[in-house]
Amino acid sequence: MFKILKKSKISNARLGIIKTPHGELKTPIFMPDATRGVIKHLGAQDLNNLGLECLVANTLHLFLRPGTKLIKRAGGLHDFMDWQKPILTDSGGYQVFSLIHKNKNNGRIIDLGAIFKSPLNGAEIKMTPELSIKIQFALGADIMVCFDDCPPNGYSDKMLSASVERTIKWAKRCKREYDKQAKSLKNNKKPLLFAVIQGGDNLELRKRCSEELIKIGFDGFGFGARHVDESGNFLAEALKYTADKIPENKLRFGLGIGLPEDIVKSIKLGYDMFDCVIPTREGRHGKLFLFNCHAGAKRSGAIASQDSIGRSDQSVGAPSGMTNNFYETINITNAKFAKDFSPINRFSKLPEPRRYSKAYLNYLFKIKEPLALRLASLNNLEFYFNMISEIGELIKKDKF
């Protein structure tokens, strides 16, 4: 169940609340990816300390290993990973793109679903809409996503159209399976079910896909496939068009979005939920996200005025507050940090980024010490968390 608490007077942004079997979620929300049932290098206690409210786990990955039988035996994914707040499970639809579309050797798409070659042992796995939903129930997900066909950039309209039709057909089957599984559950134990709108940058196809999916009836709708073009430019038109098609009382999920500025833009278009590997993966690769201005009105103003032009520049060393960008990224592995004994982030609410120096983190990366990956992940997740929190405050005041 979703309820809008407040709509911004200056954009389509809104504040809302989602009721799930594992508690309530405030939107807008950023949900980090715990694809395999873990935010790499962090434990549930870390996630609680960060204040995170919801994670995204992956149906296909968890099905392959450790398998639903084992997770059921553990009492469900929440107990297995000791995370008692909501979990959203992605359906495996993205893997149709990331595995099959990127490399035909990894599987193929059939009418019934998709055949994946397991990256673990090469065994063929037939993923169907029904199986995806069954797995998501077995995992104990709070929010489920329909199995969809996520196409790559550059698909012809004909191919995109086929992927849209397949996505609609599969969504119907997901819904049917969901109804079957959820029938016996009490209302407050029923998970939410989302569908994913495909169609690439073709607005006609986005229209068709959204209208058909809305007819079927879901709790929320995702913007599927790439939200940026090959050069990384935000596909504002398709994002806006699709958001406007989704009924106001339904949740809007920007799957895989993204860079901080892309999230800012998407919230202004009316999207409520986001997940992305950027904070964790780029952290592991040595990139740290840091606010340019450290607190107060100046930073809020910078976030609110981040507009829809271009990507973030690498404004390392740029004078704070002088650019429209509200943040900067640094590559902590650069040698210039080897002697920088300032804290990773002296404004962090966590002790680690506040106490450990950049020089130490640089050194930890150099010796390939896993603690480096943990510290970078903590820093970046806190950045994303703070960014979303501040946006929420701004919406409350009609400043966003």
Q: What amino acid positions are annotated as catalytic residues?
A: 90, 275
Instruction: Look up residue 311 and give its two tokens.
Output: 């990507």
User: What part of residues 327-356 is at the interface with RNA (CB under 7 A)?
Assistant: 331, 333-336
Instruction: Look up residue 269 and give its two tokens.
Output: 């278009």
Residue 78 near RNA by CB under 7 A: no
Residue number, 7 or 118, with CB nearest to RNA? 118
CB of 291 to RNA, least distance (A): 18
User: What part of residues 158-217 is at the interface with RNA (CB under 7 A)?
Assistant: 196, 198
CB of 199 to RNA, least distance (A): 11
Residue 225 near RNA by CB under 7 A: yes
CB of 84 to RNA, least distance (A): 20
Residue number, 102 or 354, with CB nearest to RNA? 102
Member of 93, 113, 129, 353 binding RNA (CB under 7 A): 93
CB 242 within 8 A of CB 208: no
Instruction: Fill in the amino acid letter for 152.
Output: P
User: What part of residues 364-383 is at the interface with RNA (CB under 7 A)?
Assistant: 366, 368, 370, 373
Instruction: Look up residue 314 and give its two tokens.
Output: 């690498």
Number of residues this chain uses to bind RNA (CB under 7 A):
61
| Beta-strand pair 327-331/87-90 | unpaired
Strand ranges in the chain using DSSP code E only, listed in sequence order = 2-7, 14-20, 23-27, 29-32, 55-58, 87-90, 107-110, 113-117, 124-127, 143-145, 192-197, 220-223, 251-254, 273-276, 287-291, 327-331
Residue number, 35 or 379, with CB nearest to RNA? 35
CB 159 within 8 A of CB 151: yes
Write the CB contacts of 348 (distance below 8 Å, at least 6 apart in sequence): 354, 379, 382
Member of 14, 208, 227, 265 binding RNA (CB under 7 A): 227
Write the CB contacts of 305 (distance below 8 Å, at least 6 apart in sequence): 324
CB of 282 to RNA, least distance (A): 5
CB of 211 to RNA, least distance (A): 18
Residue 95 Ramachandran class (φ > 0 left, ψ -120 to 50 alpha, else beta) = alpha
CB 377 within 8 A of CB 13: no
CB of 133 to RNA, least distance (A): 12
Residue with tokens 């099959």, as numbered in its chain: 100
Residue 323 near RNA by CB under 7 A: no
Residue number, 94 or 360, with CB nearest to RNA? 94
Member of 58, 181, 300, 348 binding RNA (CB under 7 A): 58
Note the residue count of the chain: 400
Residue 130 near RNA by CB under 7 A: no
Q: What angle do CA 306, 397, 245 make, to 5 degrees?
A: 65
Residue number, 35 or 300, with CB nearest to RNA? 35
From CA 297, how far away is CA 112, in angstroms rounded?
A: 53
Q: What angle do CA 141, 147, 150 make, to 5 degrees?
A: 125
Give the binding range for RNA (CB under 7 A) out of 22-30, 94-102, 123-131, 350-358: 94-102
Residue 119 near RNA by CB under 7 A: yes
Residue with tokens 């037939």, as numbered in its chain: 126
CB of 5 to RNA, least distance (A): 25
CB of 229 to RNA, least distance (A): 9
Phi, psi of 284 (to 5 degrees): -65, -25
For residue 35, the 8-state DSSP code is T
Member of 50, 54, 55, 56 binding RNA (CB under 7 A): 56
Residue number, 103 or 305, with CB nearest to RNA? 103
Provide the mask over 236-265, with x wherever binding to RNA is found by CB under 7 A and - wherever it is not. Answer: -------------------xxxxx--x---
Nearest CA to 234 out of 274, 196, 201 is that of 201
Residue 99 near RNA by CB under 7 A: yes
Residue 361 near RNA by CB under 7 A: no
Instruction: Look up residue 356 and give its two tokens.
Output: 């450990």
Binding residues for RNA (CB under 7 A): 32-33, 35, 39-40, 56, 58, 61, 90-91, 93-95, 97-99, 102-103, 105-106, 119, 145, 148, 150, 196, 198, 222, 224-228, 232, 255-259, 262, 275-278, 280-282, 284-287, 311, 314, 331, 333-336, 366, 368, 370, 373
